[in-house]
Structure 1
C-alpha cells in the first residue's frame, strides 16, 4: 500500500467526548472505582480511533480485565511493601534516630524504582495493544535498564535544580524509543542529549522572575516585588505548555522508522492558548455549578426544615435538628459531582484540544517505505498496567 503526503486527521468531537467521559465517570463513582478500568479502555479506544494518519485510525485492543488483573497483582505487592517494609523501616527509624522522618525518606527512595518500573511496563502494554493498518506496535523488554537509568537521571535533574530536566527527558525517551517497534521495523531516536534545552527556556525565565521578585521583596521589605514573583509563576506555568509542544515536536522529528521520518508543526503558542481558554471555561462552569449546588442544597434543607427558610442565615440552630445522615449525603453528592464534572470538563476543554493540535500538526515523511513492514508477534502481559494503576503513575493518554 503506497502513501503520498501522509498527514494526520483528528476525528474526535467535544459532544461525544463529553457524553463518554460523563457516563464512564459516573459509573466509576457508582461502582466505587471498579469501573475505572473499563472507563480507561473506552477512553483510549475513542482517542486512538480519532487519530488517523493518512485517514486510517489507530486501534487500541487492550481489555479492561487485563488492567484489572494487573491492578490486583500490584496491590498485593504494594500491600507487602507498605505493611511490612515500612513497618521495619519505622522500627529502625525510631530505634536509631528517635523519629519517623528517616523512615519516610528511605521509604520514598525505595518506592522510586517501582514507579519507574510502572512507567516502562505501562508504555510496553499500551504499545503492544496499539495497531495501525492492522500492524501492532511493541516495546522490547528492558525494564531493568530503564529503572537504573531513570533513577540516575532523576537524581541529576533534581540535584541541579531542574537544569538537566531536558537532558533527562531526552535520555529516557531515547532509551524507550530505541526499543520500540512497529511490526518488524525498529524505531530510532536521533539527536543529542542537549537538543531539548532551549525548549525549557520559558520555564527557567519564570523561575528566575520568581526568585528575583522574592529576593527583592525580602531585601527591600517592599511587598510590591511579590507582584513580579507572581508574574513569574504565571510565566512558568505557561512555559510548561510551551515545553510540552516544543519537546513533543523535537522528539517526534528525531524519531526514525527505517527510511520513514516524522515532521511536526506543533506550536507552543497554540498549546498555551488551549490551556488558558480551557482553564477559564472550566473555572466558569465549575463556579456556576457550585453556585447552583449551593442553592439546591439550601432549598432541599429548607424543605426538610421550613424554619430554615423563615430564619434565613440569622438563626442556623435548627440545623442541629436535622437527621444525622443528611450532612454526609450532601457532602458526598457535592464532592463526587465536582470530582466527576471536573474530570469531564478537563477532557473536553484541555486534553482533547491538545491531542487534536498535536495530531493534526503531525506528518509522516517518506511513508512509501512503510509498505514493506510486516506484522509482529503479539506481546502477552499478565500484569498489564497494574503498577501504573495502583500507584497510579506511568499511565496516561
Structure 2
C-alpha cells in the first residue's frame, strides 16, 4: 500500500487513532476492543469478522452536546455535529480489530452547502418563474406551474443523494486505504426516476427490481483502493423477501374494499394487516440488504451478512418505545404550559404570558433535541452495531495486494444533500 493506517494526506483529518492508542481529542473515548482482538488480526487469513464497540453512554453525551451546540448556533454547528458523529460511528466498527476512519472535514461541508444554496436558489428561482408564467398564460392559474416545479425538483433529490454518497465514501478509509465512488450522479437520477415510475405503475410489484437496479448502479461504481466492487445476481433473488410485504399490501387493499361491510370488520382487517405490513417492510429491507451484500464482490474480496429480521424489528419497536417514554415527562410539561396559556393567559399572579411562551418554546426545542439524541442511542446505534457484528469479510488474504487510490477532492462535499435536506448517512 502507498499509505499506512496512521498516515494522513493533505486535507484529511488527523485525529483518528488505532485501537489501544489514546482517543482523539475531539471524540469521546470508545471502549477498548475485546482482549486479543487486535492481536488476532491476520492479513493472511481468508476471512475477517467485524467487531463493533459502540456503546450508548458516550454516544448519548456526544449527540446531546453537539445537538445543543447546533441549536445555540441556529444550525451552523450541524456540519461539525455530523462530522463528529460519523467519526464516532466509523471508528466503532473494526473489521479484524482495525477501525474504519472517517476523515471528512466540517469546513468542506459548510463550503459545499453555501455553494449549493447559491446554485439551487438561482436554478429553482428561474425555473419557478418560467413555469408560473407559462401556467398563468396557458391555464390561467399557478397550480399547474407549482406542480411541475415540484416534479422538476425530484431528479435533484436523487442527484444530491448520489453526490452525498460519493463524498462520504471518498472520506472513508480502512487500513489506510480510501474508498470512493465514480461520478455518475445524473445517470443515477435518471435511472431512479425510471425505476420509481415503473414501481408506481406496477402498484409496487416492481419494487425489488428498483431496489436491485439502484443498488447495482451504486455498487458497480464503488471502489476500495485499486479494487472495484461489483453487484452480482439479479433482481429476481429479492422476490422471496418481498413476498410478505406484497401479501400484506394485497390484504390491506382487500380490507379497504370490504370496509363497507361494517366498522368492526374494517377495524379487524386493519388491526391485522397494518402490523403485517410493518413486519413485511422490515423483513424486506433486512433480507434485501443481506442478499445483496452476499452478492457483492471486489476482486477476491466478498461479504457474508447475517442480520436477523426479528432483532431489527425489536430494535425499531423497543427503541422508539424507549425514546417515547423518555420524552413523556417533558411532553406532559409542554402540554400543561400550553393549556395554561390557553385557559388563563394572565395566570392571575402577574406572571407574563410572554415568559411562559418563551419557556414553552424552550421546552419544545428541548424535546426535539432530546428526541434526536434518543433516536441515535436507542435506534440508529443498535442497528449500526447489529449490521456490523453480523458481517464477515471473505477473501481477505488478498488485502496486501490492494493499493491506494488518489484522493477525490470533491470540494462541493455533500452541499446539495444538505441544501435539499436529504442527508446521506448518520
What is the TM-score of this pair, normalised by structure 2?
A: 0.85
- Cross-structure match for 1:267: 308
The 2-side partners of 1:95 and 1:230 are apart by 49
Deviation of residue 115 (structure 1)? Answer: 1.0
- 2:415 pairs with 1:386: yes
- Cross-structure match for 1:304: none
- Alignment partner of 1:194: what SS? helix
Deviation of residue 227 (structure 1)? Answer: 2.6
Give the conservation status (yes or no) of the 8 Å contact 1:121–1:385: yes
- Cross-structure match for 1:171: 213
The correspondence of residues 287-306 of structure 1 with structure 2, limited to 5 A, is 287-293=328-334, 297=337
Deviation of residue 334 (structure 1)? Answer: 2.2
Which stretch shifts more, 136-145 or 94-103? 94-103
Deviation of residue 238 (structure 1)? Answer: 2.8
- Cross-structure match for 2:368: 339
The correspondence of residues 231-242 of structure 1 with structure 2, limited to 5 A, is 231-242=272-283
The 2-side partners of 1:206 and 1:100 are apart by 39
Give the conservation status (yes or no) of the 8 Å contact 1:140–1:179: yes
- 2:387 pairs with 1:374: no
> Which of 184, 193, 198 is the equivalent residue of 1:142?
184
> Which of 34, 38, 63 is the equivalent residue of 2:105?
63
- Cross-structure match for 1:203: 245
- Residue 322 to residue 84, structure 1, CA distance change in 2 (3 Å): farther
Give the conservation status (yes or no) of the 8 Å contact 1:115–1:393: yes
What's the Cα RMSD here? 2.1
> Which of 89, 100, 110 is the equivalent residue of 2:152?
110
The 1-side partners of 2:166 and 2:190 are apart by 17
> Which of 365, 376, 381 is the equivalent residue of 1:352?
381
- 2:55 pairs with 1:27: no
> Which of 295, 311, 322 is the equivalent residue of 1:254?
295
- Alignment partner of 1:196: what SS? helix
- Residue 25 to residue 317, structure 1, CA distance change in 2 (3 Å): closer
The 2-side partners of 1:332 and 1:317 are apart by 16
- Alignment partner of 2:183: what SS? coil
- Alignment partner of 2:253: what SS? helix
- Cross-structure match for 1:53: 95
Give the conservation status (yes or no) of the 8 Å contact 2:345–2:353: no
The 2-side partners of 1:280 and 1:35 are apart by 29
Give the conservation status (yes or no) of the 8 Å contact 1:199–1:243: yes
Deviation of residue 102 (structure 1)? Answer: 1.3
Give the conservation status (yes or no) of the 8 Å contact 1:120–1:394: no
The 1-side partners of 2:380 and 2:46 are apart by 30
Deviation of residue 261 (structure 1)? Answer: 1.1
Deviations along 1:253-294, one digit per CA (max 9) or x if unpaired, are 110010111101111111111111112111211113323555
The 1-side partners of 2:196 and 2:273 are apart by 25
Deviation of residue 139 (structure 1)? Answer: 1.0
The 1-side partners of 2:355 and 2:248 are apart by 47
Which stretch shifts more, 3-12 or 39-48? 3-12
Deviations along 1:67-108, one digit per CA (max 9) or x if unpaired, are 111111111122123333212212222222233331122112
5+ residue gaps in structure 2?
A: 1-42
The 1-side partners of 2:397 and 2:177 are apart by 15
The correspondence of residues 63-102 of structure 1 with structure 2, limited to 5 A, is 63-102=105-144
5+ residue gaps in structure 1?
A: 302-307
- Alignment partner of 1:191: what SS? coil
Deviation of residue 239 (structure 1)? Answer: 2.3
